[in-house]
Amino acid sequence: MLLELDGLRVGLDRLAGHGADALRADLELVLSAILTKLSRRTSDTSEHELPRRIAAGYPARLFVRKAEELARRLADVAAPLSASPPALVEEGDARALRGVAPDSVHLAVTSPPYPGVYDYLAHHEARLRWLRLRSASFEQDEIGARRHLDPLGPEAGRARWREELGGVLVALARVLRSGAPLVLLLADSVVAGAPVYAVDVVKAAASGARFAVRAVASQPRPHFHRPTARAFQRRPRHEHAILLIRA
């Protein structure tokens, strides 16, 4: 399996000619999509591993099938996209939003990482390696990461998360126009075994970032992590859509 993956990687590196960079980017997306399926991990968001028996040739066949599927999907949306305004994608720190002009955004909709739930760096370890992406800034700048919050304990962990989220809100306040809405999708989480209620944290962080919380829509969500399930025995866990308005 590793030899087949290595062969795919070498093939992508050897692409040449007009449009090779764009084609390589599309096919690296396909390679990224199949890595977890070929690993022992049960899913992207799980740390559990299971033994797998993978037949010779399967990685290559899966790559071809996913590439054909991507080509069909791109063809389906080609006409609508060509008639739509161009999209701009920027990679960077959400607490800085470099490249976004002040007072230029009419609406922001985002779902920040839920605090203490995942370590996205660990989830994407294989992708970072096979796609040859550097991880130093990911390691340093990831917000809400369990590896950063849990060792601090409940109080300090919650305080760090509030500071991280506050940094995002301050940056959004700079780029949003006056009166523009911001919608956050966040769920209650657990840090160091203690519950973190998202709406409480957002309200505390919003007060220092020129935002006012105008509405909250919430739905109950079960907590599947057994060791920390007791954290929500007294006050159930919810997922929230939170509307804020820039003052």
> 165-193, pLDDT tens digit by residue?
999 999 999 999 999 999 999 999 999 99
CB atoms under 10 Å from CB of 94, counted, come to 17
Q: Given the structure tokens 């993956």, which residue do they identify?
A: 5
Q: Where are the alpha helices (DSSP H) in 131-218?
A: 136-141, 146-149, 154-175, 198-206
Q: Single out the residue of 112, 116, 108 nearest to residue 240, CA to CA.
A: 112
Work out the angle at residue 207's Cα, subtended by the Cα atoms of residues 204 and 210, and round it to the nearest 5 degrees: 145
If you average pLDDT over every residue of the chain, what do you get?
92
Q: What is the pLDDT of residue 54?
A: 86
Which structure tokens are listed for 175? 């780029």
51-60 pLDDT tens trace: 888 888 999 9
7-22 pLDDT tens trace: 999 999 999 999 999 9
With cut-offs at 50, 70 and 90, classify the pLDDT of residue 46. low
- How far does CA 134 lie from the centroid of its chain? 17
- pLDDT surpasses 90 at 32: yes
Q: What is the pLDDT of residue 222?
A: 87
Q: Given the structure tokens 């962080």, which residue do they identify?
A: 205
Q: Given the structure tokens 């997306």, which residue do they identify?
A: 29
109-165 pLDDT tens trace: 999 999 988 888 888 888 999 999 988 888 888 999 999 999 999 999 999 999 999
Q: What is the pLDDT of residue 45?
A: 65
86-98 pLDDT tens trace: 888 888 899 999 9
186-231 pLDDT tens trace: 999 999 999 999 999 999 999 889 999 999 999 999 888 777 888 8
